[in-house]
Amino acid sequence: MHWGLYQSLHYNSPVSSLNLIHRVRNPAPNASTLAPAIVMVHGWLGDENAMWAFEKALPLNAFVISMRAPVEAEGGYGWMLPGNEERSFEQGLASLREFVSRLPREYPVNADRVALMGFSQGAAMSCALALSDPHMASAVVALAGFLPDAARQWIASGRLAGKRVFIAHGIDDTAVPVEDAIRARDALALCGAGVTYREYPVGHKLSAQGMRDLKTWLADFAA
């Protein structure tokens, strides 16, 4: 495997036209096919390194990439700002959309096998992108997340037909109440997605059992 840190210009790497600073892990060598891709979207005040806490769950045959959100705040980064959600949501979603849309042109990934995997605010943006532009991802992983109110405009029967979704949430989560995950589950199911929903006796994090369930689900996605 090869690790790298990339920017939209130069950073010890070939030139990339991607719009966000990012970190990648190449898949195990496979000359015959393009690799499935897992796009990891961090939460509030994270960065391109935060989502690698889930590294043990990532299948080795997948191309994995994590980016830094565009808005700097309180020593970290985010996709939308508290108190200015509507405008910053649109800007954050546009940045994520641009990044994911360009990904197959920059790296040898299968554009038909892209999973958006987000935590908390990153899960919210992953769900929103899948709803706004269903062609961009075949699967979504929402960990301790929610569906932004601004994304509900895209809820429509059959909109996510054929897509797969994994939702994991802690029943003791005080940052994002489990009721928000249930509402996201119901909305995505209404859109026709095949939803796997799991709850765990933890707070705003993924439990050990949740990590095992995530690993199993991702392995099946990348198979």
The whole-number pLDDT of residue 31 equals 53
- Cα distance between residue 111 and residue 212, in whole Å: 26
- Amino acid identity of 9? L
Q: What is the pTM of this model?
A: 0.92
List, in sequence order, the alpha helices (H) in the chain: 85-106, 121-132, 178-190, 208-222
- Cα distance between residue 84 and residue 23, in whole Å: 28
The pLDDT tens digits of the residues spanning 40-61 come to: 999 999 999 999 999 999 999 9
Query: For residue 46, what are the contacts with CB-CB under 8 A and spacing of at least 6?
Result: 69, 76, 77, 78, 119, 122
Contact, 194 vs 163, CB < 8 A? yes
Contact, 31 vs 43, CB < 8 A? no
User: Look-up: residue for tokens 């990934």?
Assistant: 109
- Cα distance between residue 53 and residue 120, in whole Å: 14
Long-range contacts of 70-75 (CB under 8 A, 24+ apart): 70/20, 70/95, 73/45, 74/45, 75/45
Residues 54-71: what's their mean pLDDT? Answer: 96
Strand residue runs (E) in 147-214: 164-170, 194-200
How many other CB atoms sit within 10 Å of the CB of residue 62?
A: 24
Q: State the fold for domain 3-222.
A: Rossmann fold (3.40.50)
3-state SS assignment for residue 56: helix
The whole-number pLDDT of residue 16 equals 65
Residues 147-172: what's their mean pLDDT? Answer: 97
The whole-number pLDDT of residue 92 equals 95
Q: Find, among 105, 100, 104, the residue nearest to 117 by Cα.
A: 100
The pLDDT tens digits of the residues spanning 200-210 come to: 999 999 999 99
- Cα distance between residue 44 and residue 209, in whole Å: 24
- Cα distance between residue 171 and residue 123, in whole Å: 17
Is pLDDT above 60 for 93? yes
Listed by start position, the domains of the chain span 3-222
